[in-house]
């Protein structure tokens, strides 16, 4: 059952990342997909015969830390792009040369 | 596992996530994102991983959501209403969900498995982090430092 919830959360994140044009929405969708993956790690860790090694917990904690780093860099890039182009609409960012 | 609590929390988290993905105003979506992550943290509590749930609340609701709100405030020029909605993304997301559900229900082990909830203490997690996982921990420290310095460099004013 946890896996179904996790799959639904992943799909919602994918929806946000694919269908919105605003860069911040895309980052929110990516964070939601990462949270769904963490939920899967914890659920599969709980399926193992107990007491198990805390591998799932470790992977989830490291994934959260890396997701925080990714969010910081991604939002900094949104701000930098906005300063340059005056927009955060990803459909209008179609030049490689500044 | 308390089934009623699970259903309530799951509906709460999923509806908040759906609102975050579809709301028109960016600020409302960011706040709904924080609510959805509180729901996910409650699911972690239900699975007996309290420490991960608390870390999720601290990191996401405490740090990432605030960061998103600040970014929205700093990039506010274009009236923060999202123009247009790409329906191809909706179709792809529904297809992915159907595919994952079919895969989960067709696996005989996963369809019937109920997770066991024995508690894991913070002491166990700390011991594991300080013995088996020391090197990953140090690497994450270096990664976070590098990411924060990189973010600062990215948003520094360009000198002309």
Smallest Cβ distance to B37: which of A35, A51, A73?
A35
> Which two three-digit tokens encode residue A93?
């960012």
Q: What pLDDT score was predicted for residue B138?
A: 92
Q: What pLDDT score was predicted for residue A65?
A: 92
Mean pLDDT of B5-12: 89
Q: What pLDDT score was predicted for residue B62?
A: 87
Please give the Cα distance from A29 to A24 (Å, whole number).
9
- Between the alpha carbon of residue A83 and those of residues A34, A91, B72, B156, the distances in Å are 28, 16, 13, 11
Q: What pLDDT score was predicted for residue B114?
A: 63
Mean pLDDT value across chain B: 83
Does A25 sit within 8 Å of B14, measured CB to CB?
Answer: no
Cα-Cα end-to-end distance for chain B: 61
pLDDT digits (tens, 9 = 90+) for A16-70: 888 887 888 889 999 999 999 999 888 888 877 766 678 888 899 999 999 999 9
In chain B, whose CA is at the least distance from the CA of A12?
A: B18
Chain B residues lying within 8 Å of A30, measured CB to CB? none
Smallest Cβ distance to B124: which of A28, A42, A54?
A54
In chain B, whose CA is at the least distance from the CA of A47?
A: B115
Does A87 sit within 8 Å of B151, measured CB to CB?
Answer: no
Residue A73: count other Cβ atoms within 10 Å of its Cβ.
16
Mean pLDDT of B20-31: 84
ipTM for the complex shown: 0.85
Q: What pLDDT score was predicted for residue A30?
A: 92
Q: What pLDDT score was predicted for residue B147?
A: 92
In chain A, whose CA is at the least distance from the CA of B156?
A: A80
Q: What pLDDT score was predicted for residue A53?
A: 76
pLDDT digits (tens, 9 = 90+) for B135-151: 999 999 999 999 999 99
What chain A holds in terms of domains, given with CATH numbers, is 2-92 (1.10.287.3510)
Hey, which residues does B25 pair with through a beta bridge? B81
Q: Chain A: give the shortest CA distance to residue B35, in Å.
A: 12
**Is residue B40 exposed (0-12), middle (13-18) or buried (19+ Cβ within 10 Å)?**
buried
Q: What pLDDT score was predicted for residue B79?
A: 55
Q: What pLDDT score was predicted for residue B117?
A: 63
Chain A residues lying within 8 Å of B6, measured CB to CB? 1
What is this structure's pTM?
Answer: 0.86
Mean pLDDT of B25-30: 85
Q: Which 40-99 residues of chain B touch chain A by CB within 8 A?
A: 40, 43-44, 47-49, 51-52, 55-56, 59-60, 63-64, 67-68, 70-72, 74-75, 77-78, 82-90, 92-94, 96-97
Please give the Cα distance from B85 to B22 (Å, whole number).
9
Q: What pLDDT score was predicted for residue A51?
A: 65
pLDDT digits (tens, 9 = 90+) for B84-138: 567 788 888 889 999 988 888 888 776 556 666 667 778 888 888 888 889 999 9
Q: What pLDDT score was predicted for residue B81?
A: 57
Q: What pLDDT score was predicted for residue A95?
A: 74
Smallest Cβ distance to A76: which of B26, B97, B154?
B154
């Amino acid at each position: 059952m946890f896996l179904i919830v996790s799959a639904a959360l992943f799909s919602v994140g994918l929806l946000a990342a694919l269908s919105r044009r605003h860069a911040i929405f895309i980052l929110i969708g990516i964070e939601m997909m990462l949270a769904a993956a963490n939920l899967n790690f914890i659920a599969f860790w709980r399926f193992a015969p107990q007491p198990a090694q805390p591998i799932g917990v470790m992977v989830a904690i490291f994934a959260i830390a890396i997701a925080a780093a990714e969010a910081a860099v991604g939002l900094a890039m949104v701000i930098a792009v906005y300063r340059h182009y005056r927009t955060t609409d990803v459909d209008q960012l179609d030049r490689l040369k500044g | 596992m308390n089934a009623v609590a699970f259903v309530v929390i799951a509906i709460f988290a999923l509806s908040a996530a759906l609102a975050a993905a579809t709301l028109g105003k960016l600020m409302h979506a960011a706040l709904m994102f924080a609510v959805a992550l509180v729901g996910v943290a409650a699911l972690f509590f239900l699975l007996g991983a309290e420490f991960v749930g608390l870390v999720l609340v601290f990191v996401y609701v405490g740090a990432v959501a605030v960061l998103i709100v600040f970014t929205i405030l700093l990039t506010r020029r274009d009236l923060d209403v999202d123009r247009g909605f790409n329906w191809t993304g909706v179709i792809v997301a529904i297809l992915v969900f159907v595919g994952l559900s079919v895969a989960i229900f067709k696996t005989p082990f996963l369809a019937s498995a109920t997770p066991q909830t024995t508690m894991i203490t913070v002491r166990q997690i700390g011991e594991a982090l300080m013995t088996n996982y020391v090197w990953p921990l140090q690497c994450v420290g270096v990664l976070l430092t590098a990411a924060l310095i990189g973010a600062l460099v990215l948003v520094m004013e360009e000198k002309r």
